[in-house]
Structure 1
Amino acid sequence: MAPQERVRRLSADERARARTQELPDLIAEDLVLLLCGINPGLGSAAVGHHFANPGNRLWPALHRAGFTPRAFSGPEEHELLALGIGITSLVGRPTARASELSSAELQAGGRDLRARVRRLRPAWLAVLGIGAYRVAFDAPDAIIGPQDTLIGSTRVWVLPNPSGLNAHYPPRALAAEFTRLREAMALPAQPAD
Protein backbone atom coordinates (compact mmCIF):
# COMPACT_ATOMS: atom_id res chain seq x y z
CA MET A 1 0.00 0.00 0.00
CA ALA A 2 1.44 3.36 -0.96
CA PRO A 3 2.34 5.64 1.96
CA GLN A 4 0.05 8.41 0.70
CA GLU A 5 -3.06 6.18 0.72
CA ARG A 6 -5.62 7.02 3.35
CA VAL A 7 -7.58 4.50 5.34
CA ARG A 8 -11.30 4.78 4.89
CA ARG A 9 -12.97 5.41 8.21
CA LEU A 10 -15.12 2.52 9.34
CA SER A 11 -18.83 3.16 9.76
CA ALA A 12 -20.42 2.54 13.16
CA ASP A 13 -21.79 -0.77 11.85
CA GLU A 14 -18.37 -1.81 10.52
CA ARG A 15 -16.73 -0.93 13.86
CA ALA A 16 -19.35 -2.96 15.73
CA ARG A 17 -18.83 -5.98 13.43
CA ALA A 18 -15.03 -5.66 13.65
CA ARG A 19 -15.21 -5.95 17.45
CA THR A 20 -16.57 -9.48 16.99
CA GLN A 21 -14.21 -10.60 14.19
CA GLU A 22 -11.48 -13.09 14.87
CA LEU A 23 -8.19 -12.41 13.13
CA PRO A 24 -6.49 -15.76 12.52
CA ASP A 25 -2.84 -16.16 13.41
CA LEU A 26 -0.33 -16.22 10.58
CA ILE A 27 1.65 -19.19 11.87
CA ALA A 28 3.53 -22.36 11.09
CA GLU A 29 5.62 -24.71 13.16
CA ASP A 30 9.33 -24.03 13.63
CA LEU A 31 9.32 -20.38 12.58
CA VAL A 32 12.50 -18.37 12.90
CA LEU A 33 10.51 -15.50 14.43
CA LEU A 34 6.99 -15.15 15.79
CA LEU A 35 5.90 -11.52 16.05
CA CYS A 36 3.26 -10.94 18.71
CA GLY A 37 1.14 -7.80 18.57
CA ILE A 38 -0.93 -6.72 21.54
CA ASN A 39 -4.32 -7.24 19.87
CA PRO A 40 -5.94 -6.58 16.50
CA GLY A 41 -7.09 -3.05 15.75
CA LEU A 42 -10.61 -2.62 14.44
CA GLY A 43 -9.36 -1.81 10.94
CA SER A 44 -7.22 -4.95 10.84
CA ALA A 45 -10.11 -7.09 12.09
CA ALA A 46 -12.46 -5.52 9.55
CA VAL A 47 -10.21 -6.38 6.57
CA GLY A 48 -8.81 -9.63 7.98
CA HIS A 49 -5.11 -8.72 7.90
CA HIS A 50 -2.62 -8.04 10.67
CA PHE A 51 -1.22 -4.51 10.96
CA ALA A 52 -3.45 -3.41 8.05
CA ASN A 53 -3.49 0.30 8.88
CA PRO A 54 -0.93 2.01 6.62
CA GLY A 55 -0.08 4.25 9.60
CA ASN A 56 1.25 1.23 11.46
CA ARG A 57 5.01 1.19 11.23
CA LEU A 58 5.59 -2.57 11.49
CA TRP A 59 6.04 -3.12 7.76
CA PRO A 60 8.61 -0.32 7.19
CA ALA A 61 10.46 -1.30 10.38
CA LEU A 62 10.74 -4.93 9.25
CA HIS A 63 12.07 -3.78 5.89
CA ARG A 64 14.51 -1.16 7.22
CA ALA A 65 15.84 -3.72 9.70
CA GLY A 66 16.51 -6.23 6.90
CA PHE A 67 13.85 -8.81 7.79
CA THR A 68 12.00 -8.32 4.49
CA PRO A 69 13.22 -7.43 0.97
CA ARG A 70 10.66 -4.60 0.75
CA ALA A 71 7.99 -3.01 2.91
CA PHE A 72 5.01 -5.34 2.80
CA SER A 73 1.47 -4.29 3.67
CA GLY A 74 -1.22 -6.06 5.66
CA PRO A 75 -2.71 -7.85 2.63
CA GLU A 76 0.76 -9.22 1.82
CA GLU A 77 1.29 -10.64 5.31
CA HIS A 78 1.32 -14.24 4.01
CA GLU A 79 4.67 -13.51 2.32
CA LEU A 80 6.28 -13.46 5.77
CA LEU A 81 5.84 -17.22 6.18
CA ALA A 82 8.31 -17.87 3.34
CA LEU A 83 10.83 -15.85 5.36
CA GLY A 84 10.15 -17.93 8.49
CA ILE A 85 8.20 -15.14 10.20
CA GLY A 86 4.70 -15.45 11.65
CA ILE A 87 2.27 -13.13 13.41
CA THR A 88 0.02 -13.67 16.40
CA SER A 89 -1.65 -11.48 19.01
CA LEU A 90 -1.42 -11.50 22.77
CA VAL A 91 -5.18 -10.94 23.03
CA GLY A 92 -7.56 -11.87 20.24
CA ARG A 93 -10.26 -9.29 20.99
CA PRO A 94 -10.16 -6.40 18.49
CA THR A 95 -10.31 -2.89 19.94
CA ALA A 96 -9.86 0.67 18.75
CA ARG A 97 -6.92 1.04 21.18
CA ALA A 98 -4.91 -1.49 23.16
CA SER A 99 -5.65 0.56 26.30
CA GLU A 100 -9.19 -0.91 26.17
CA LEU A 101 -7.79 -4.27 27.29
CA SER A 102 -7.89 -5.21 30.96
CA SER A 103 -4.94 -6.54 32.92
CA ALA A 104 -6.83 -9.82 33.30
CA GLU A 105 -7.13 -10.10 29.50
CA LEU A 106 -3.41 -9.44 29.07
CA GLN A 107 -2.49 -11.98 31.75
CA ALA A 108 -4.77 -14.63 30.19
CA GLY A 109 -3.29 -13.76 26.80
CA GLY A 110 0.19 -14.28 28.20
CA ARG A 111 -0.72 -17.76 29.40
CA ASP A 112 -2.28 -18.60 26.02
CA LEU A 113 0.72 -17.19 24.14
CA ARG A 114 3.14 -19.32 26.15
CA ALA A 115 1.09 -22.43 25.24
CA ARG A 116 1.11 -21.49 21.53
CA VAL A 117 4.85 -20.88 21.60
CA ARG A 118 5.50 -24.25 23.25
CA ARG A 119 3.40 -25.92 20.53
CA LEU A 120 4.83 -23.97 17.55
CA ARG A 121 8.47 -23.85 18.74
CA PRO A 122 9.63 -20.66 17.00
CA ALA A 123 13.30 -19.89 17.54
CA TRP A 124 12.41 -16.38 18.72
CA LEU A 125 9.29 -14.62 20.02
CA ALA A 126 9.16 -10.83 19.67
CA VAL A 127 6.42 -9.15 21.70
CA LEU A 128 5.51 -5.76 20.23
CA GLY A 129 4.83 -3.56 23.24
CA ILE A 130 6.69 -3.27 26.53
CA GLY A 131 3.67 -2.30 28.66
CA ALA A 132 1.60 -5.26 27.52
CA TYR A 133 4.59 -7.59 27.96
CA ARG A 134 5.14 -6.41 31.54
CA VAL A 135 1.53 -7.21 32.47
CA ALA A 136 1.16 -10.43 30.44
CA PHE A 137 4.43 -11.92 31.69
CA ASP A 138 4.36 -10.44 35.21
CA ALA A 139 7.65 -8.69 34.50
CA PRO A 140 7.20 -5.12 35.77
CA ASP A 141 10.89 -4.25 35.37
CA ALA A 142 11.28 -5.57 31.80
CA ILE A 143 12.87 -3.26 29.25
CA ILE A 144 12.99 -3.26 25.46
CA GLY A 145 15.35 -5.93 24.15
CA PRO A 146 16.26 -9.49 25.11
CA GLN A 147 14.50 -11.08 28.07
CA ASP A 148 15.99 -13.58 30.50
CA THR A 149 12.98 -15.85 30.17
CA LEU A 150 12.69 -18.76 27.73
CA ILE A 151 9.47 -20.42 26.65
CA GLY A 152 10.58 -23.98 26.06
CA SER A 153 13.61 -23.36 23.85
CA THR A 154 12.21 -20.11 22.38
CA ARG A 155 14.13 -16.94 23.14
CA VAL A 156 12.05 -13.88 24.00
CA TRP A 157 12.67 -10.30 22.88
CA VAL A 158 10.50 -7.22 23.46
CA LEU A 159 10.22 -4.60 20.72
CA PRO A 160 8.49 -1.22 20.88
CA ASN A 161 4.87 -1.13 19.79
CA PRO A 162 4.96 -0.13 16.08
CA SER A 163 1.70 1.82 16.31
CA GLY A 164 1.88 5.35 14.97
CA LEU A 165 0.60 6.37 18.42
CA ASN A 166 3.93 5.37 19.99
CA ALA A 167 5.72 8.72 19.93
CA HIS A 168 8.64 7.38 22.01
CA TYR A 169 9.96 5.54 18.95
CA PRO A 170 10.06 7.52 15.70
CA PRO A 171 10.57 5.37 12.56
CA ARG A 172 14.38 5.44 12.65
CA ALA A 173 14.55 4.41 16.33
CA LEU A 174 11.94 1.72 15.78
CA ALA A 175 13.92 0.28 12.86
CA ALA A 176 17.08 0.34 14.99
CA GLU A 177 15.39 -1.82 17.64
CA PHE A 178 14.19 -4.28 14.99
CA THR A 179 17.74 -4.36 13.59
CA ARG A 180 19.11 -5.20 17.04
CA LEU A 181 16.83 -8.22 17.13
CA ARG A 182 17.78 -9.38 13.61
CA GLU A 183 21.46 -9.09 14.46
CA ALA A 184 20.97 -11.00 17.75
CA MET A 185 19.26 -13.72 15.72
CA ALA A 186 22.34 -13.81 13.42
CA LEU A 187 20.09 -13.43 10.38
CA PRO A 188 21.57 -11.81 7.29
CA ALA A 189 19.68 -8.80 5.99
CA GLN A 190 17.30 -9.56 3.13
CA PRO A 191 18.50 -8.08 -0.16
CA ALA A 192 16.15 -5.31 -1.33
CA ASP A 193 13.88 -6.06 -4.26
Structure 2
Amino acid sequence: MNDTPRHRPTRAELDAARGTRLPDLIADDLTVLLVGINPGLSSAVAGHHFATPGNRLWPALYRAGFTPRLIDAAEENRLLDLGIGITSIVHRPTSRAAELTAPEYVAGGRHLRELVLARRPAWLALLGVTGYRAAFNAPDATVGRQSLTIGTTQVWVLPNPSGLNAHYPPSALAVEFAKLRVATGLPDRSAVLGNGPFPNRS
Protein backbone atom coordinates (compact mmCIF):
# COMPACT_ATOMS: atom_id res chain seq x y z
CA MET A 1 0.00 0.00 0.00
CA ASN A 2 1.20 3.50 -0.81
CA ASP A 3 2.18 5.21 2.46
CA THR A 4 2.80 8.63 0.91
CA PRO A 5 0.93 11.28 2.95
CA ARG A 6 -2.33 12.19 1.24
CA HIS A 7 -2.47 15.69 -0.20
CA ARG A 8 -5.43 17.65 1.11
CA PRO A 9 -6.92 19.52 -1.86
CA THR A 10 -7.32 23.26 -1.56
CA ARG A 11 -10.66 24.94 -2.18
CA ALA A 12 -9.31 26.28 -5.48
CA GLU A 13 -8.29 22.76 -6.57
CA LEU A 14 -11.69 21.34 -5.63
CA ASP A 15 -13.51 24.09 -7.53
CA ALA A 16 -11.31 23.57 -10.59
CA ALA A 17 -12.04 19.82 -10.50
CA ARG A 18 -15.72 20.42 -11.25
CA GLY A 19 -14.86 20.88 -14.91
CA THR A 20 -12.70 17.78 -15.27
CA ARG A 21 -13.39 14.16 -16.19
CA LEU A 22 -11.82 11.19 -14.45
CA PRO A 23 -10.84 8.59 -17.09
CA ASP A 24 -12.34 5.12 -16.84
CA LEU A 25 -10.14 2.34 -15.54
CA ILE A 26 -11.11 -0.20 -18.15
CA ALA A 27 -10.07 -2.91 -20.60
CA ASP A 28 -11.90 -5.38 -22.80
CA ASP A 29 -13.37 -8.57 -21.37
CA LEU A 30 -12.93 -7.77 -17.67
CA THR A 31 -14.46 -10.06 -15.07
CA VAL A 32 -16.03 -7.17 -13.11
CA LEU A 33 -16.60 -3.54 -14.06
CA LEU A 34 -17.33 -1.56 -10.88
CA VAL A 35 -19.59 1.46 -11.33
CA GLY A 36 -19.65 4.36 -8.91
CA ILE A 37 -22.34 7.03 -8.96
CA ASN A 38 -19.95 9.87 -9.90
CA PRO A 39 -16.47 11.02 -8.87
CA GLY A 40 -16.08 13.12 -5.76
CA LEU A 41 -14.13 16.34 -6.10
CA SER A 42 -11.21 14.93 -4.08
CA SER A 43 -11.01 11.97 -6.46
CA ALA A 44 -11.05 14.28 -9.46
CA VAL A 45 -8.20 16.33 -7.98
CA ALA A 46 -6.19 13.19 -7.20
CA GLY A 47 -6.84 11.70 -10.64
CA HIS A 48 -7.87 8.37 -9.11
CA HIS A 49 -11.21 6.72 -8.47
CA PHE A 50 -12.55 6.51 -4.91
CA ALA A 51 -9.78 8.72 -3.52
CA THR A 52 -12.16 10.64 -1.24
CA PRO A 53 -11.09 10.22 2.41
CA GLY A 54 -13.39 7.81 4.23
CA ASN A 55 -14.42 5.82 1.16
CA ARG A 56 -14.39 2.12 2.00
CA LEU A 57 -14.12 0.57 -1.46
CA TRP A 58 -10.49 -0.48 -1.17
CA PRO A 59 -10.80 -2.24 2.23
CA ALA A 60 -14.00 -3.95 1.04
CA LEU A 61 -12.29 -5.30 -2.08
CA TYR A 62 -9.45 -6.66 0.04
CA ARG A 63 -11.58 -8.20 2.78
CA ALA A 64 -13.89 -9.77 0.19
CA GLY A 65 -10.95 -11.46 -1.55
CA PHE A 66 -10.81 -9.43 -4.77
CA THR A 67 -7.27 -8.19 -4.01
CA PRO A 68 -4.38 -10.04 -2.33
CA ARG A 69 -3.59 -7.05 -0.12
CA LEU A 70 -5.04 -3.68 0.73
CA ILE A 71 -4.33 -1.26 -2.08
CA ASP A 72 -5.32 2.37 -2.29
CA ALA A 73 -6.65 4.67 -4.97
CA ALA A 74 -3.17 5.63 -6.22
CA GLU A 75 -2.57 1.96 -7.08
CA GLU A 76 -5.86 1.50 -8.92
CA ASN A 77 -4.19 0.28 -12.13
CA ARG A 78 -3.34 -2.96 -10.30
CA LEU A 79 -7.02 -3.87 -10.52
CA LEU A 80 -6.82 -4.37 -14.28
CA ASP A 81 -4.38 -7.25 -13.78
CA LEU A 82 -7.00 -8.82 -11.51
CA GLY A 83 -9.77 -8.50 -14.10
CA ILE A 84 -11.44 -5.52 -12.44
CA GLY A 85 -12.19 -2.05 -13.82
CA ILE A 86 -13.92 1.12 -12.62
CA THR A 87 -16.26 3.62 -14.26
CA SER A 88 -19.09 5.91 -13.16
CA ILE A 89 -22.75 6.39 -14.00
CA VAL A 90 -22.19 10.13 -14.29
CA HIS A 91 -18.72 11.47 -15.00
CA ARG A 92 -19.29 15.01 -13.70
CA PRO A 93 -17.41 15.42 -10.39
CA THR A 94 -19.39 16.90 -7.50
CA SER A 95 -19.00 17.30 -3.77
CA ARG A 96 -22.19 15.27 -3.20
CA ALA A 97 -24.18 12.88 -5.38
CA ALA A 98 -27.30 14.88 -4.47
CA GLU A 99 -26.06 17.55 -6.92
CA LEU A 100 -26.76 15.23 -9.86
CA THR A 101 -29.97 15.52 -11.88
CA ALA A 102 -32.40 12.82 -12.98
CA PRO A 103 -31.54 13.38 -16.67
CA GLU A 104 -27.85 12.86 -15.85
CA TYR A 105 -28.63 9.46 -14.33
CA VAL A 106 -30.73 8.45 -17.33
CA ALA A 107 -28.03 9.55 -19.78
CA GLY A 108 -25.47 7.72 -17.66
CA GLY A 109 -27.48 4.53 -17.85
CA ARG A 110 -27.59 4.76 -21.65
CA HIS A 111 -23.85 5.34 -21.79
CA LEU A 112 -23.20 2.37 -19.50
CA ARG A 113 -25.18 0.08 -21.79
CA GLU A 114 -23.12 1.24 -24.78
CA LEU A 115 -19.87 0.85 -22.84
CA VAL A 116 -20.76 -2.65 -21.68
CA LEU A 117 -21.71 -3.81 -25.17
CA ALA A 118 -18.40 -2.49 -26.51
CA ARG A 119 -16.14 -3.75 -23.70
CA ARG A 120 -17.98 -6.97 -22.72
CA PRO A 121 -17.25 -7.34 -18.98
CA ALA A 122 -18.68 -10.54 -17.53
CA TRP A 123 -20.26 -8.59 -14.66
CA LEU A 124 -21.38 -4.99 -14.19
CA ALA A 125 -21.39 -4.15 -10.46
CA LEU A 126 -23.05 -0.90 -9.46
CA LEU A 127 -21.94 0.59 -6.17
CA GLY A 128 -25.19 1.78 -4.66
CA VAL A 129 -28.79 0.77 -5.22
CA THR A 130 -29.98 4.39 -5.46
CA GLY A 131 -27.80 5.04 -8.50
CA TYR A 132 -28.87 1.80 -10.14
CA ARG A 133 -32.54 2.57 -9.63
CA ALA A 134 -32.16 6.03 -11.18
CA ALA A 135 -29.96 5.02 -14.11
CA PHE A 136 -31.85 1.88 -15.12
CA ASN A 137 -35.44 2.81 -14.21
CA ALA A 138 -35.57 0.07 -11.60
CA PRO A 139 -37.34 1.65 -8.59
CA ASP A 140 -37.80 -1.65 -6.74
CA ALA A 141 -34.23 -2.94 -7.13
CA THR A 142 -32.38 -4.21 -4.07
CA VAL A 143 -28.78 -5.17 -3.37
CA GLY A 144 -27.65 -8.38 -5.10
CA ARG A 145 -27.95 -10.02 -8.49
CA GLN A 146 -30.34 -8.37 -10.94
CA SER A 147 -32.54 -9.92 -13.61
CA LEU A 148 -31.20 -7.38 -16.13
CA THR A 149 -28.49 -8.46 -18.54
CA ILE A 150 -26.72 -6.24 -21.07
CA GLY A 151 -25.68 -8.41 -23.97
CA THR A 152 -23.89 -11.25 -22.19
CA THR A 153 -23.01 -9.11 -19.16
CA GLN A 154 -24.72 -9.92 -15.86
CA VAL A 155 -25.59 -7.14 -13.41
CA TRP A 156 -25.10 -6.97 -9.65
CA VAL A 157 -25.82 -4.16 -7.19
CA LEU A 158 -23.48 -3.68 -4.23
CA PRO A 159 -23.96 -1.35 -1.26
CA ASN A 160 -22.48 2.11 -1.67
CA PRO A 161 -18.99 2.01 -0.06
CA SER A 162 -19.19 5.66 1.00
CA GLY A 163 -18.35 6.24 4.64
CA LEU A 164 -21.74 7.95 4.90
CA ASN A 165 -23.59 4.65 4.31
CA ALA A 166 -24.39 3.72 7.90
CA HIS A 167 -26.55 0.75 6.82
CA TYR A 168 -23.42 -1.24 5.99
CA PRO A 169 -20.57 -1.24 8.51
CA PRO A 170 -17.23 -2.49 7.12
CA SER A 171 -17.85 -6.13 8.02
CA ALA A 172 -21.27 -6.22 6.35
CA LEU A 173 -19.93 -4.38 3.32
CA ALA A 174 -17.19 -6.97 2.89
CA VAL A 175 -19.72 -9.80 3.07
CA GLU A 176 -21.80 -8.28 0.26
CA PHE A 177 -18.70 -7.78 -1.89
CA ALA A 178 -17.66 -11.37 -1.23
CA LYS A 179 -21.03 -12.65 -2.48
CA LEU A 180 -20.29 -11.00 -5.83
CA ARG A 181 -16.77 -12.41 -5.93
CA VAL A 182 -18.03 -15.94 -5.39
CA ALA A 183 -20.68 -15.48 -8.09
CA THR A 184 -18.04 -14.33 -10.59
CA GLY A 185 -15.84 -17.34 -9.91
CA LEU A 186 -12.83 -15.21 -8.99
CA PRO A 187 -10.52 -16.83 -6.42
CA ASP A 188 -10.30 -15.63 -2.84
CA ARG A 189 -7.05 -13.71 -3.08
CA SER A 190 -6.97 -12.44 0.49
CA ALA A 191 -8.47 -15.34 2.52
CA VAL A 192 -9.72 -12.76 5.03
CA LEU A 193 -13.32 -13.97 4.91
CA GLY A 194 -13.00 -17.23 2.97
CA ASN A 195 -15.52 -18.85 0.66
CA GLY A 196 -17.65 -20.70 3.17
CA PRO A 197 -20.67 -18.55 3.97
CA PHE A 198 -21.17 -17.00 0.56
CA PRO A 199 -23.66 -18.51 -1.90
CA ASN A 200 -23.20 -18.43 -5.66
CA ARG A 201 -26.37 -16.39 -6.05
CA SER A 202 -28.01 -13.73 -3.96
Give me the TM-score of the superposition, normalised by structure 1: 0.94
Q: Is the 8 A contact 1:19 1:93 kept in 2?
A: yes
Return the offset for 1:191: 4.2
In structure 1, C-alpha distance between the alignment counterparts of 2:144 and 2:190, rounded to whole Å: 25
Q: Paired residue for 2:179?
A: 180
Return the offset for 1:185: 1.3
Q: Is the 8 A contact 1:33 1:125 kept in 2?
A: yes
Return the offset for 1:13: 1.1
Alignment of 1:1-193 (within 5 A): 8=8, 10-191=9-190
Q: Paired residue for 2:194?
A: none
Q: Is the 8 A contact 1:38 1:132 kept in 2?
A: yes
Q: Is the 8 A contact 2:2 2:71 kept in 1?
A: no
Give me the TM-score of the superposition, normalised by structure 2: 0.90
In structure 1, C-alpha distance between the alignment counterparts of 2:55 and 2:70, rounded to whole Å: 12
Which contiguous aligned blocks of 4+ residues in structure 1 show a shift greater than 6 angstroms? none
In structure 2, C-alpha distance between the alignment counterparts of 1:56 and 1:119, rounded to whole Å: 29
Return the offset for 1:53: 2.3
- In the alignment of these two chains, the number of paired residues is 190
In structure 2, C-alpha distance between the alignment counterparts of 1:70 and 1:20, rounded to whole Å: 34
Q: Is the 8 A contact 1:49 1:74 kept in 2?
A: yes
Q: Deviations over 1:93-122 (max 9, x none)?
A: 000011111111011100001100010000
- Change over 3 Å in CA distance of 1:191–1:64 after alignment to 2: closer
In structure 2, C-alpha distance between the alignment counterparts of 1:15 and 1:191, rounded to whole Å: 35
Return the offset for 1:55: 1.2
Segments of 5+ residues of structure 2 without an aligned counterpart are 192-202
Code of the residue aligned with 2:19 in structure 1: it is T
Q: Secondary structure at the match of 1:67?
A: coil
Question: Matched residues, percent identical?
Answer: 63
In structure 1, C-alpha distance between the alignment counterparts of 2:2 and 2:152, rounded to whole Å: 38
C-alpha RMSD of matched pairs (Å): 1.5
In structure 2, C-alpha distance between the alignment counterparts of 1:16 and 1:132, rounded to whole Å: 24
